Amino acid sequence: MLLRHTPKEITERDALVINPAKTCQPIGAMYAALGIHGCLPHSHGSQGCCAYHRSTLTRHYKEPISAATSSFTEGASVFGGQANLIQAINNIFSVYEPEVIAVHTTCLSETIGDDLKQITIKATKDGKIPEGKHVIGASTPSYVGSHVTGFSNMVKSMAMQAEKTGTKNGKVNVIPGWVEPSDMEEIKRLAALVGVDITLFPDTSGVLNGPLSGEYHMFPEGGTTMTELKSTGDAVGTLALGEWCSADAARWLDSTHKVPCKVLDMPFGLSATDRFIDALRIAAGVTVPDEVAHERGQLVDMMSDMHQYFYNKKVALVGDPDQLIAMTEFLVSIDMCPVHIVTGTPGKKFEKRIRELTADMPFEVNVKAAGDMFLLHQWIKNDPVDLIIGNTYCKYIARDEDIPFVRWGFPILDRVGHQYFPTVGYKGGLRLLEKILMALLDRKDRDDPEETFELVL
């Protein structure tokens, strides 16, 4: 038993995290920045941070991840990192030739007091930023929030590139939040089906799920262009998917450029997708096309066909707030019972929202923000579940407790598919159900005694 060190008895912990259910801000900023076309993310800190984020993203996407670093040394840590960053900007534009450099800070550069804005102004004055190129930045100290906060902060910096010309461009901004490249593609497909012209940002599709061409391109085709980002100030509205990942950027556009925003849940599962489609429909002033209604019908169809297998099944969930909120609602809607729900990201309002969504459940629900997987495991030991849904790190618990496990979230280090098959929208809902059913029914087939082992399920 790999986790034999986990005791059943739960004690309060406040000085210590064991088996984290979050990571630090900069990796979120790096992932968001990869959704800008021609962008090289830049880590303003020690070399290790950048190497770790690149390695983790590489393992999750099985794609090359390029990012630069200020390569802090002891000197920079004492005298400030301005010289390093300006030299870095100069080197990056002359060698790698990106359109944009998206700088994020680290605990180190934040604590020594480097001011990104002021350094960028100096780099501009010194002529280090070539004509038509851009440097954007986000403050992402690792000791505040989580990777989700870092993502949100970089997305807000993207929104802050908006320029208002005064003429509306007829487009709707859609901020998808931290979802997979496949999900971003699906969101674009759904918007096109409904007939809404959208600007999606960030957009990692085409960047992190590219084909094998035999060539290495540091800057693949995909990503939201700087021109598109600038025009977000002229949009007719913004749909922000996920309070934690996307709302800050949307509210900034609303208050600064008067682009009205609506914050929705991420469109995982039936009801959250319904609300997203409805918001798109309202934005476009159209009725929902038959094709979309058809996809919805298929999802409801599978839910009904297999509902007896979902009934009262207990689920443990771990992941990021926006995803977990939508997933909890979906699970409740198919009669499953999410009983243990943990996110590593802090925020009491997460717990409140989950409590609301699970208010009518027949079982007691444990929910914790700023929790960890050690706690989740302890909860499971005390109150076993039928299924675990979460990132790859759940595999230890799944193995030790012999519980069916569906991989969903970040990071997934040991399976593929998330790059290519969406879990947002109605089609994504079908895939989620398929994955859940596979896990449950494979287990049933494995465990059923001979006499009740059935061919037809």
Partner 1 sequence: MKCETAAVLEERKGQVHRTGQGPIEMACNRDSLAGAVSQRACVFCGSRVVLYPIADALHLVHGPIGCAVYTWDIRGSLSSGPELHRLSFSTDLQEKDVIFGGEKKLEAALDELIDRHDPKAVFVYSTCIVGIIGDDLEAVCRTMSEKKGIPVLPVQSEGFKGSKREGYNAACKAMFRLVGTGDTSDISPVSVNILGDFNLAGEIWIIREYLERMGVEVVANISGDGRVADVRRCHGAALNVVQCSGATLDLAKMMEEKYGVPYIRVSYLGIEDMADSLYYIADHFKDIDPEITTKTSNLVRDELEVLMPELARFRKDLEGKKVAIYVGGAFKAFSLIKAFRHLGMQVVMVGSQTGTEEDYRELEEITDPGTIIVDDSNPLELSAFIKEKDVDVFVGGVKERPIAFKMGVGFCDHNHERKEALEGFVGMFNFAREIHTSAISPVWKFVPRREQKEAEHE
- Which residues between 308 and 347 bind partner 1 (CB under 8 A)? 344
Q: Whole-number minimum distance, CB 29 to partner 1, in Å?
A: 12
Residue identified by tokens 């003429």 is: 167
Nearest to 415 by CA among 437, 385, 393: 393
Q: Whole-number minimum distance, CB 179 to partner 1, in Å?
A: 20
CA pair distance 42, 62, nearest whole angstrom: 20
> How far from each other are the two terminal CA atoms of the chain, in whole angstroms?
33
Q: Whole-number minimum distance, CB 415 to partner 1, in Å?
A: 15
Q: Whole-number minimum distance, CB 7 to partner 1, in Å?
A: 7
Tally the C-alpha atoms within 13 A of residue 118's C-alpha that lie toward its C-beta: 7
Q: If residue 304 lies in a helix (H) or strand (E), which one and from where to where?
A: helix 290-305
Contact 181, 204 (CB under 8 A): yes
CA pair distance 74, 66, nearest whole angstrom: 25
The first and second tokens of residue 284, run together, are 């476009």
**DSSP label of 287:** P
CB closer to partner 1 out of 109 and 161: 109
Q: Is 69 helix (H, G, I), strand (E, B) or coil?
A: strand
Strand-pair category, 337-343 with 387-390: unpaired
Interaction residues for partner 1, span 190-219 (CB under 8 A): 210, 212-216, 218
**By CB under 8 A, residue 71 contacts partner 1:** yes
Binds partner 1 by CB under 8 A, chosen from 29, 34, 92, 119: 92
CA pair distance 29, 149, nearest whole angstrom: 8
Q: Whole-number minimum distance, CB 95 to partner 1, in Å?
A: 5
Q: Whole-number minimum distance, CB 400 to partner 1, in Å?
A: 11
Binds partner 1 by CB under 8 A, chosen from 30, 31, 54, 351: 54
CB closer to partner 1 out of 73 and 287: 73
**By CB under 8 A, residue 422 contacts partner 1:** no
CB closer to partner 1 out of 211 and 449: 211
Binds partner 1 by CB under 8 A, chosen from 32, 35, 70, 135: 70
Interaction residues for partner 1, span 373-392 (CB under 8 A): 374
Binds partner 1 by CB under 8 A, chosen from 105, 120, 139, 142: 142
Interaction residues for partner 1, span 277-296 (CB under 8 A): none
